Amino acid sequence: MTGLRRRDMRIGIIGTGNMASALGSRWAAAGHQVLFGGRSAERAGALAGRTGQSAGTVREAAAFGDAVLLALPHDAVAGVLAGLGAADGALRGRLLVDCTNAVGPGFRLTTGTGPGAARAIAEATGARVVKAFNHLPDSVWRRPAPCSPDGPLTVPLCGDDASALETVGTLVRDLGCVPLTVGGLDRAAYLEATTAFLIGLWHSGHDPRTLLPPFDVVTA
Ligand SMILES: NC(=O)c1ccc[n+]([C@@H]2O[C@H](COP(=O)([O-])OP(=O)(O)OC[C@H]3O[C@@H](n4cnc5c(N)ncnc54)[C@H](OP(=O)(O)O)[C@@H]3O)[C@@H](O)[C@H]2O)c1
């Protein structure tokens, strides 16, 4: 399967909360077809109505189109995947975008020092998993053109499948951002841990940018 570059992708979104709404509405605005799948038909329908897209069940979202965003609390992921028949290979080969954060009390990862959330999802499903969009709050993804102090926002991606990374790269560009593959799924746990670290800083009122000198200073 080759990566998709076209602007009329079909994207299933599992979940109808903040991340589903933020990313789904921006992808819809970019011209993609989105199906919001939730355990509450009312919430899925309301989101679909607001964005001019379609609504369905969690199962319908998992089977919809070219890429599926898992926009669930980390604690719910294993049960939802099991209910979709992951153990029987129902999701094998599907492109799953994992934006989840397994952050518990004290801004600690509930996945501990293990392989991390994205790797666990790949192992449970046989899906082509790409970790993305987890490192910033939904308020950023809702913006028409999220930016860093130096220009368009770079979005780190981790994954093992080149065509899946290419497809998610297109979805990143359609948010007005720049994709950067930072490694395979073996690196996703670092991205997850970095995010837990960043969330802790933001919650305590510290700007993480003050930790970092300009790039040329570091590389001099
Ligand atoms: N919000 C952010 O700023 C942000 C940023 C980056 C990453 N993330 C990560 O993205 C994921 C989603 O976050 P969110 O803020 O969108 O969460 P949210 O607003 O709480 O939405 C979670 C969604 O998951 C659904 N859900 C929960 N348990 C379920 C189950 N057992 N079966 C089916 N659906 C279930 C909820 O359904 P109901 O409405 O029926 O409860 C809801 O639609 C989380 O892992 C979070 O850590 C969030």
Q: How remote is the CA of residue 169 from the centroid of ligand 1, in Å? A: 23
Count how many domains the chain has: 1
In a domain, 187, yes or no: yes
Beta carbons of 157 and 132 less than 8 angstroms apart: yes
pLDDT of the residue at 177: 98
Is 175 inside a domain boundary?
A: yes
Q: Is residue 3 part of a domain?
A: no
* 190, part of any domain: yes
Is 102 within the bounds of a domain? Answer: yes
Residue 2 resides in a domain: no
Spell out where the chain has E strands.
10-14, 33-37, 54-56, 67-70, 95-98, 103-104, 108-109, 128-131, 147-148, 151-152, 154-159, 178-183
* Chain segment 27-79, per-residue pLDDT in tens: 999 999 999 999 999 999 999 999 999 999 999 999 998 999 999 999 999 99
**For the chain, what is the mean pLDDT?**
95
Specify the amino acid at residue 54.
S
Name all residues whose Cβ lies below 6 A of ligand 1.
15-20, 38-40, 43, 58, 71-74, 76, 79-80, 99-101, 134, 137-138
Q: How many angstroms is it from 217 CA to the middle of ligand 1?
A: 39
Domain of 134, CATH number, reads 3.40.50.720
| Domain assignment of residue 167, given as a range | 10-219
- Using alpha carbons, list the distances in angstroms from residue 112 to 89, 103, 106, 115, 189: 27, 10, 13, 9, 10
Model pLDDT, residue 117: 98
Which residue has tokens 């499948």?
Answer: 161
The answer, yes or no, to whether residue 172 has pLDDT greater than 50, is yes
| pTM of the predicted protein model | 0.96
Residue 133 included in any domain: yes
Tell me the Cα Rg of the chain. Answer: 17
| Amino acid of residue 85 | G
pLDDT tens profile 108-125: 999 988 889 999 999 999
**Amino acid 113: pLDDT:** 83
Mean of the pLDDT values across residues 198-207?
97
The verdict on residue 112 lying in a domain is yes
